[in-house]
Amino acid sequence: MKRIGYFAVIFICLFGAGMPTLAGAAPTVFVSILPQKFFVQQISGDLINVEVMVPPGASPHTYEPKPSQMRKLAESRAYFTIGVALEEAWLDRITRINPEMMVVHTEAGIDRMAMSGDHHHEGEQAETDEHGHEQGEQAEGGLDPHIWLSPMLVKQQAEVIWTSLEALDPENAAAYKTNFQRFSDRIDELDGQLKGILEGKKGMKFMVFHPSWGYFARGYDLVQVPVEIEGKSPKPAHLRSLIELARREQITVIFAQPQFSRKSAEVIAREIGAQVVLIDPLGENWFENMTVVANNLEAALR
């Protein structure tokens, strides 16, 4: 955002912060992405108004908040983070606009994997430092933020959301506890359903453009093979190795997501006679989306 635009946003938000909230209105909280909105709403019901920063079709890697969102943030009671790039770029500025806002780190306590840590292709060996960590994985690939794509990690996030809502609105603590328990039970049911769908697929490889599905793959004993490495499209030599791998593993589907270009995925698909199938890691109806993804994977791995 241009400097003049940023100061205009600050002025708007500071002016808006002085305006009173309507008496009796539900408190407003913010989340970064649509799946988080779903999680908070499952626990809050209609007692909390949930605003999402990244709209449908946009990417949390590149999205910049609009002035209207910054204005609402000035009156927000809480912000639920999840570790996406948007937060790294904007959270400090957001909290300066609204210092009284509770910041809830739903990713706290979750051991996050390296974005590209276990995606090496056959024949490639990662260099490690004296501690056994892969060199460059922090500086280049960073930590994988896609923790909302693992049901068991969502259970951890849900508990953080529940206790935070109780602290924010103690008068409705009983409702939040009941909703959390119901949501937690539904997550267990989903996990069992996904295990059933993917039964017999242990160790099988699936190819994706952007490596969003590492936690999902780990949870269900699959192997994610990304086309994109460290945010970059593959170079010709790497593209050739991906095509060879796809032929060797008889991969017939390459998964892409709506927020990224499908060009490289389509090149590989043409070479191996595969099809490109869209799966969305940012789908809002999380239960439904996870089941759709699992069914797509099961069909691709037959």
Question: pLDDT tens digits, residue range 166-224?
Answer: 999 999 999 999 999 999 999 999 999 999 999 999 999 999 998 999 999 999 999 99
- The edge-to-edge listing of strands for the beta sheet with 275-278 is 223-226, 205-208, 253-256, 275-278
Predicted pLDDT of residue 24: 60
Report residue 116's pLDDT band, with 50, 70 and 90 as the boundaries. low
What contacts 160, CB < 8 A, 6 or more positions away? Answer: 104, 105, 106, 108, 109
The answer to whether the beta carbons of residues 113 and 87 sit under 8 Å apart is: no
Eight-state DSSP code of residue 148: G
Predicted pLDDT of residue 88: 93
Report residue 256's pLDDT band, with 50, 70 and 90 as the boundaries. very high
Query: In 3D, which of 256, 262, 242, 253 has the Cα closest to residue 300?
Result: 253
Answer yes or no: is pLDDT of 275 > 60: yes
**169 φ, ψ to 5°?**
-140, 70
pLDDT tens, residue by residue, 128-151:
333 333 333 333 348 999 999 999
- Please write down the long-range contacts of 175-179, taking CB distance under 8 Å and 24 or more positions apart: 175/45, 175/47, 176/43, 176/44, 176/47, 179/42, 179/43, 179/44, 179/45
Predicted pLDDT of residue 118: 40
pLDDT tens, residue by residue, 1-32:
433 344 344 443 444 444 334 446 899 999 99
Ordered domains of the chain (ranges, CATH): 3-107+147-190 (3.40.50.1980), 199-300 (3.40.50.1980)
pLDDT tens, residue by residue, 55-96:
998 999 899 999 999 999 999 999 999 999 999 999 999 999
Strands (DSSP E) found in 8-159: 28-31, 49-52, 78-81, 102-105
Average confidence (pLDDT) over 238-251: 91
d(CA 134, CA 116): 10
Report residue 253's pLDDT band, with 50, 70 and 90 as the boundaries. very high
Query: In 3D, which of 87, 134, 129 has the Cα closest to residue 108?
Result: 87
d(CA 66, CA 58): 13
